[in-house]
Amino acid sequence: MLALAGHPLGLELVFVDPNPDAPAGQVAELVAADYGDAAALRALERCDVVTYEFENVPLDVTRRIAAATRVLPPPRALEVARDRLLEKRCFRELGIPTPAFRDVGTERELGEALSELGLPAVLKARRQGYDGKGQAVIEDASAIAAAWQRLSPDYGADAFILESKVAFERELSIIAVRGAAGDVRSYPLIENRHRDGILDVSIAPAPGITPELAREAEAHARRLLEHFDYVGVLALELFQVGGRLLANELAPRVHNSGHLTIEAASTSQFENHLRAIVGWPLGAVELTTPACMLNLVGALPDPAPALALGGAHFHDYGKPARRGRKLGHVTVCASTAELGLERLERLRAELRAPGGEAG
């Protein structure tokens, strides 16, 4: 999606991905190699600017590239965002409220943290987790040992954070962009609904957002952007609890909930990310229409019902199918977010792929 946004701007883009099937290879030059591979480094170091859209790029690689050329967003933002403990501490230092959390290194510390935070709680791997992987919800005391035994072998020492499980009303994200001159723009708040830990549906603008809530989210995003002297797109995932917002996590990159900005905003998050890192003026971030997005996970359905629906846009990433994998998405634009959601849910039933998870 970055490649598709960069092409009409006249940008020459090179992508590095260890996976030779990476979708970028279908539309741009792809170096299929490990991030630290010599050929990959050579390809990146000769670029005017290097960015990333994946948190688990090794830090030594980003630092090496940063010694040779510009890396944006700044590697420090990546370092913090890829570690849930550093991330939550950073939120707290900046005065951004979060769920209660404790650092957990051992099973004994897990017990101590649980007695402080109480139940229910969520045990999360600090690093490498995504789409709900590396997490265990602990609803009652009988689940503690099983959660530890399931997760601890895969993530090593000092690898966890325990959070209070928040009874949120809904999940929101704010996508903001900071340009090279320090100017900040925020897209309207988006509501996100998850299934099995994976983003299922995004709704924009999130219905019923008060001006106070919008201002609060924008202020949090701005504080983070300024803290890192950030350039590019950043997404902040939030829980809405009563009239309050709690920060869940930070993505130092374009975000799944922002895919709908391709059709529904004046400038997509992908274009704005590229404009920012290249040092060009940012584009307008207002929505040109309400829209809802449905992720297509595990199997791609026949696109015909989506193509037949007015205001719907079908995206196939050209990825090999795999259980739990995001293979594409559909965005439905409509005159209101509620109407978009209604059409999207009707479409979901029609898109049910034989044996697939979409729906």
Q: Which residues are at the interface with ligand ADP (CB under 6 A)?
A: 99, 122, 129-132, 163, 165-166, 171, 194, 197, 237, 248-249
Task: Tell me the C-alpha distance between 58 and 43, whole Å.
Answer: 17
Residue whose pair of structure tokens reads 């510390």 in the numeric block: 109
Q: Verify cis geometry, omega within 30 degrees of 0, for the bond prior to 301.
A: no
Q: How far apart are CA 325 and CA 233, in angstroms?
A: 23
Which of the ranges 164-172, 234-242, 330-338, 348-356 carries the binding residues for Mg ion, by CB under 5 A? 234-242
| Dihedral over Cα of 256, 260, 262, 267: its sign | negative
The residue among 237 and 263 lying less far from ligand ADP, judged by its C-beta, is: 237
Q: How far is the CB of 233 from ligand ADP (least distance, A)?
A: 17
Residue 171 binds which entry of Mg ion, ligand ADP, none, CB below 5-8 Å type-dependent? ligand ADP
Alpha carbons 128 and 106: distance in angstroms, whole number: 18
As measured in angstroms, the least distance from the Cβ of 20 to ligand ADP is 25
CB of 163 to ligand ADP, least distance (A): 4
Spatial separation of the C-alpha atoms in residues 251 and 192, rounded to whole Å = 15
Choose the binding region for Mg ion from 3-11, 204-212, 243-251, 310-318 (rule: CB under 5 A).
243-251
Task: Provide, rounded to whole angstroms, the least separation between the CB of residue 164 and ligand ADP.
Answer: 6
Q: How far is the CB of 231 from Mg ion (least distance, A)?
A: 23
**CB 122, min distance to ligand ADP, A:** 5
Residue holding tokens 């170096």? 31
CA 256 from centroid of its chain's CA atoms: 5
Tell me the number of residues near Mg ion by CB under 5 A: 2
> Shortest distance, CB of residue 54 to Mg ion, whole angstroms?
14
Residue 166's binding partner out of ligand ADP, Mg ion, none, with CB under 5 to 8 Å set by partner kind: ligand ADP
Task: Report what 99 binds from Mg ion, ligand ADP, none; CB cut-off 5-8 Å by kind.
Answer: ligand ADP
Residue 18: cis peptide before it, omega within 30 degrees of 0: no
| Binding site partner of 55, from Mg ion, ligand ADP, none, Cβ cut-off 5-8 A by kind | none
Q: What distance in Å separates the CA atoms of residue 230 and residue 73, rounded to the nearest whole number?
A: 6
Q: Residue 257 or residue 331: which is nearer to ligand ADP going by CB?
A: 257
The dihedral formed by the CA atoms of 207, 165, 195 and 295, expressed in degrees to the nearest 10: 60
Nearest residue (CB) to ligand ADP, 237 versus 271: 237
Residue 318 tokens, joined: 């050209």
Name the binder of 155 from Mg ion, ligand ADP, none, CB < 5-8 A by kind: none
Give φ, ψ of 76 to 5 degrees. Answer: -60, -35
Residues 6+ apart with CB under 8 A from 33: 16, 18, 39, 40
Q: CB of 249: closest distance to Mg ion in angstroms?
A: 5
142 and 148 Cβ atoms separated by less than 8 Å: no
Contact string (CB under 5 A) for Mg ion, positions 247-286, x = contact: --x-------------------------------------
**CA pair distance 54, 296, nearest whole angstrom:** 19
Judged by beta carbon distances under 5 to 8 A according to partner kind, the member of ligand ADP, Mg ion, none in contact with residue 188 is none
From 56-64, 101-109, 233-241, 343-351, span contacting Mg ion (CB under 5 A): 233-241
SS3 272: helix
| Beta pairing class for 70-71 and 49-50 | parallel
Q: Please answer whether residues 9 and 271 qualify as being in contact, where contact means their C-beta atoms are separated by less than 8 angstroms.
A: yes
Which of residues 116 and 302 has its CB atom nearest to ligand ADP in the complex?
116
| Residue closer to ligand ADP (CB basis): 84 or 343 | 84
Phi, psi (degrees; rounded to nearest 5) at 166 = -90, 130
In the complex, the residues that contact Mg ion under the rule CB under 5 A are 237, 249
